[in-house]
Amino acid sequence: MPVANAPRKPFATAAESPLPPEAFLQAVDQADLAISITDAKANILFANQAFAEVTGYGTEEIIGKNESVLSNHTTPPETYQELWRELAAQRPWSGKLLNRRKDGELYLAELSISPVVDADGKTTHFLGMHRDVTELHRLERLVRNQKQLIESVVDAAPIAFALLDPAGRIIFSNQEYTKLSADLRIAEPAHALLDSLAPQWREIVASDPAHCTFTSHETRIDRPAGRPRWLSVTSSVIDMQSDCADSYFCAAGQPGLLLVISDISSLREEQERARAAVLQAVLAEEERTAAIRESLSATLFRLEEPMNVMNSAISVLQRRDPLSAGMLSEALNASREHMETLRQVIPQSPQEIVVSLNINEVLRDVLEVSTPRLLSAGVVVDWQPAATVPSILGRPLQLRMLFKALVDNAIEAMNVKGWKRRELSLISAVDGKRIAISVLDSGPGIPEEWRLKAFEPFFTAKNGSGKHIGTGLSRAQQVVADHGGIIDLGDSPSGGCAVIVEFRVDGDPI
């Protein structure tokens, strides 16, 4: 680019140049680019064949005419002002002008005009090169319009879209995805969903994204405040072309993982309401059956004591009064037969198959069923679920009965006359390969010396007696053990009781 007011070296003469002057003229005249040379007032002195083809004017016909003959006079004046300002400063100018061909047809010209300066620093000529970019402009506008149309449709869609590159970065998303992020209070919902549906997705996307595709997989995201969200996610791989220069001759593209996320919360809520009604009836029936089972078991347990005493008495009477001992022995045997008959009619626990389940859904079900009792007792519930939890294998009814028993125990502990602070916290958290559920109450708590006894059969802390008049936590411990977990008692931050239940993500129920 020439420097303003600096003399330029004139063209090489025939003696200095290894090419004859005719070669320069033929090269310019036969170039595919439209080239014209004007004087300092823009009168055309030379035009090549490409110039004639673009403008429609013959080469002899256009010579002597001013470049303004091509103007359609609709180009903004500011453009021409900038053009002449740059040329007056002996600087080249590039831009677009709306021109008119000889037949009146309009075309968009992309021009590059450079001043030609003599040895004295005076502008003597202008070298103009331009090309018809009308079709290119049309295609650019077409692509832009299509892009805007697609973006408008995608943004208006009631479905969230997120496109991830092989590194897992979000390189495209729509408005619905942004709304989802704000609603869930998660920076990248796509990452949270993939963590739930395909825990190894980061390694898979980087190496072989085709193995990270699925269709209409559902997952649930729980929030501390507000209703849970059920989302249906479809993952597919799309081939994206790199925009780097070094990829121009490379046919291979860069794979991207496209997530299509649909909110199916309304549908699932309708299903959940119907299921909750059925579940409430099932749990009520199971509680009734469990109460009968526990009462009969407790009765048989109590009857064992006097029968053991009678058995000892028979041993003593056998030597002193064999006849009385025989009669007593017959009565004892008859009693044992009756007890065995009673034992056989004790309702058995339902046999459940092991399924994959979401522990947050189990806890939600328990809160839903326990809501009337929580309200009547004036208990404030603080529900703090992990946003997403991995699925575990378990028996749904047993787990619901387990956590309902723990919630009922907490309500009973706080539901005493004069007890003002009644708060229940239900927390789920994921720690590595473990899921921990905490049931915390603000009741009087359990003395440390009772914490081991609490898991003994028929232990209860009712009335502070510690007598064996109920099943206590023994059944809860059995259910937790059957699912390969552990249960522990401690103090809650409010001074009440804390029941901590832990399950391994990869643990199988016994």
> Do the beta carbons of residue 100 and residue 106 sit within 8 Å?
yes
* β partners of residue 218: 232
Q: What is the pTM of this model?
A: 0.48
Is the predicted pLDDT of residue 197 greater than 80, yes or no? Answer: yes
Share of the chain above pLDDT 90, in %: 35
Instruction: Quote the CA–CA distance of 377 and 382 in Å, as a whole number.
Output: 15
Instruction: Quote the CA–CA distance of 148 and 143 in Å, as a whole number.
Output: 9
Q: Taken in order 358, 363, 369, 375, is the CA torsion positive or negative?
A: negative
Instruction: Quote the CA–CA distance of 279 and 77 in Å, as a whole number.
Output: 78
Q: Summarize pLDDT for 409-451 with one digit per residue, the tens.
A: 899 889 888 788 899 999 999 987 899 999 999 988 888 777 7
Q: Which one is predicted more confidently, 222 or 354?
A: 354
30: enclosing H helix or E strand: none
Q: Which one is predicted more confidently, 243 or 378?
A: 378
Q: How far apart are the first and last CA of the chain?
A: 82
* β partners of residue 429: 436
Which amino acid is residue 206, in one-letter code? A
Which amino acid is residue 49, in one-letter code? Q
424: enclosing H helix or E strand: strand 423-431
Instruction: Quote the CA–CA distance of 222 and 384 in Å, as a whole number.
Output: 9
Q: Summarize pLDDT for 107-150 with one digit per residue, the tens.
A: 999 999 999 999 999 999 999 999 999 999 999 999 899 888 88
417: enclosing H helix or E strand: none
Is the predicted pLDDT of residue 489 greater than 70, yes or no? Answer: yes
DSSP 233-291: EEEEEEEE---SGGGTT----EEEEEEEEEE-HHHHHHHHHHHHHHHHHHHHHHHHHHH
Name the DSSP class of 184: H
Choose among 238, 247, 9, 26: nearest CA to 117: 9
Instruction: Quote the CA–CA distance of 197 and 191 in Å, as a whole number.
Output: 10
Looking only at Cα atoms, what is the longest distance across the chain? 152
> Do the beta carbons of residue 461 and residue 417 sit within 8 Å?
no
Name the DSSP class of 468: S
* β partners of residue 488: 500
Q: Which one is predicted more confidently, 468 or 406?
A: 406
Query: Which of 13-22, 142-151, 340-349 shows the lowest per-residue confidence on average (mean pLDDT)?
Result: 13-22
Is the predicted pLDDT of residue 459 greater than 90, yes or no? Answer: no
E strands along 101-213, which residues?
106-117, 123-132, 160-164, 170-173
The predicted pLDDT at position 102 comes to 93
Instruction: Quote the CA–CA distance of 459 and 468 in Å, as a whole number.
Output: 5
Instruction: Quote the CA–CA distance of 308 and 493 in Å, as a whole number.
Output: 46
Confidence band, pLDDT 50/70/90 cuts, at residue 466:
very low
Q: Could you tell me which residues come within 8 angstroms of residue 33 by beta carbon, excluding any fewer than 6 positions away?
A: 50, 129, 130, 131
- CA 284 to chain CA centroid, Å, is 37
Choose among 196, 217, 190, 194: nearest CA to 204: 194
Mean pLDDT, range 351-358, rounded to an integer: 84
Residue with tokens 């008959």: 341
Choose among 318, 263, 290, 493: nearest CA to 405: 290
DSSP 66-85: BGGGGB-S-S-HHHHHHHHH
Q: Could you tell me which residues come within 8 angstroms of residue 10 by beta carbon, excluding any fewer than 6 positions away?
A: 118, 119
The predicted pLDDT at position 50 comes to 92
Instruction: Quote the CA–CA distance of 426 and 409 in Å, as a whole number.
Output: 13
Compute the chain's Rg from CA coordinates.
43
Choose among 202, 265, 205: nearest CA to 232: 265
Which amino acid is residue 397, in one-letter code? L
Q: Could you tell me which residues come within 8 angstroms of residue 150 by beta carbon, excluding any fewer than 6 positions away?
A: none
The predicted pLDDT at position 510 comes to 57
* Average pLDDT of the residues of the chain: 83
